[in-house]
A and B are shown apart, each in its own frame.
Chain A
Amino acid sequence: MPTVQIISSSEKDKNILQGAFADLGAETIFSLDLNDALAIFERVRPRAVFIADGEDPPSEIKIREILRIAPFMPVVVMLKRRDAARAVALMKLGAFDCAQAPWTPEELRPLLKKALKLSGTALAVAPPPPDAARKAVLAAGALAAGLFIFALGYGLSQYRKAEAARPPDEVELPYSHPAGVAFADGEVLVADWYTQSLYRHSGTDYKINGVTSFPDLTPVGLGHSADNLWLATADGVIERRSRDRRLTRTASAKHGMSSLTGVCFDGLYVWTADGKKGVFQKRMNNDDMRVLGEYPYRGELAAFTCDRDFLWAADSKSGEIIKFPLDNPERSAAAMPVAELSDRTFRATALGTDGSHVWLTGERGGKGLLIKKNARF
């Protein structure tokens, strides 16, 4: 009995699909989300993956991440309604095919059978019959071979990417509204306000290792330390969360800024910046994050972060990343021109630093970008 993996967080859909696939003679392994699916994928080794569309993270990301670890895997997206434009778009991204609702055995049967047939070379002990049926067999063989070659080519290109010694300095993110960047355990963490999620990217190839969704808040800033994350939200709150698996909230305080541009931790104090007001704020790292001092900033602050040595500001007017000593935040120590900040098509939204590099995120033409710059200037 073939095993198929199904990614769906809905209990109702799970019941429907369990029955439908049982009717088709397939064993089903359910995963609630992408993290769960990737975690059990290696152990289960499914013959095909079916994704319920319309859940978080989007199917586009699920397709990409599954094909990254299993390039030959047929991935079928189950659409909530018949939407040809979306189906074609998902197929362009690598989906094998798309199912339409209702997800009945009749709808799923051809998809399942075709997906399962892709997984091996057809072997025969006798030559095909020399008639019209032969043409059909040859056409089916050509289709399977073509798909195999495509999958092989895709797999090789992914392999080469993974083998590249140095990760690229600029990467296009699979989401469009990055609002904060931080670092933890060799991973790059990016908060996206639109999908209300925190994405954990590998520090070597930027693939997504995990996603944490925050359905009840919209992140607008992100900072980190060895033990905690600081998450600024659109409703004017800074949350401190421990870096456990659930990102448990340990403190929450109103920041009182009209336009928070960044939040960070220098090892002792929490810092915030207000781009509209032009000010850096130094705060206690306690439960109410009391303000200890304010320092004016005289440029056009687009993004802000800090580390154990400096405050870092991305200035969209001068087109520079500027650093300020922690003990004298009113006097800049050095500045580095950054072409992206002078590019009017790019909108910087967040800065982060991992000690050796300073990272800029932003949006250009509806795409989210992550850009790495040398911090030693």
Chain B
Amino acid sequence: MPDFNSKDYIPAGIRLPHGAPPAWGRLSRVDPSGCELVTRFELKEGSGAALEFDLGDESFSDIMSRVRSRRRDAEGYFTYGISFTDEMQRRNLALVLSRLAAR
């Protein structure tokens, strides 16, 4: 159960390794340790990606991430469980999420 909700599902850019063209999707959940990403683009379990998204007035880019789980729904969209791998970025996210929760 989330502590609070943003007004909609947050759009996110997905930068992929090995020069693959960037993809996009929406975040259905975010916490300081990771997020749930809904997208039509296929990512491999265990692969890395850099995410870009806005939280409130703050923009985050190059959030280093790893795909931990995935499932595909009946329409062909993937829902990925993503963990954030950079400790400094996790701390920044925790700060911004706390500020948003306090509003």
Contact = CB atoms under 8 A, between A and B. Distances in A.
B23 interface: yes
A333 interface: no
B13 A84 contact: yes
Chain A interface residue number, banded:
20 to 34
B26 interface: yes
Nearest to A112: B75
Most buried by A among B11, B15, B21: B11
A98 B38 CA distance: 13
A92 interface: yes
B75 A98 contact: no
B24 A117 contact: no
Contacts, number: 61
Contacts of A92: 11, 54
Contacts of B18: none
Interface string B45-62: 000000010100000000
A146 B74 CA distance: 18
Interface in B1-40: 5, 7-9, 11-15, 21-24, 26, 28, 36, 38, 40
Contacts of B28: 139, 142-143, 146
Given A142-B28, A143-B38, A150-B7, A88 B13 contact: yes
A114 B9 CA distance: 15
B79 A111 contact: no
Contacts of B24: 84, 87-88, 91, 98
Nearest to A146: B9
Given A88-B11, A147-B9, 10 more contacts: A82-B21, A84-B15, A87-B11, A91-B26, A110-B76, A113-B76, A114-B75, A136-B79, A143-B28, A150-B7
Interface of A: 82, 84-85, 87-88, 91-92, 97-98, 109-111, 113-114, 117, 136, 139-140, 142-143, 146-147, 150, 153
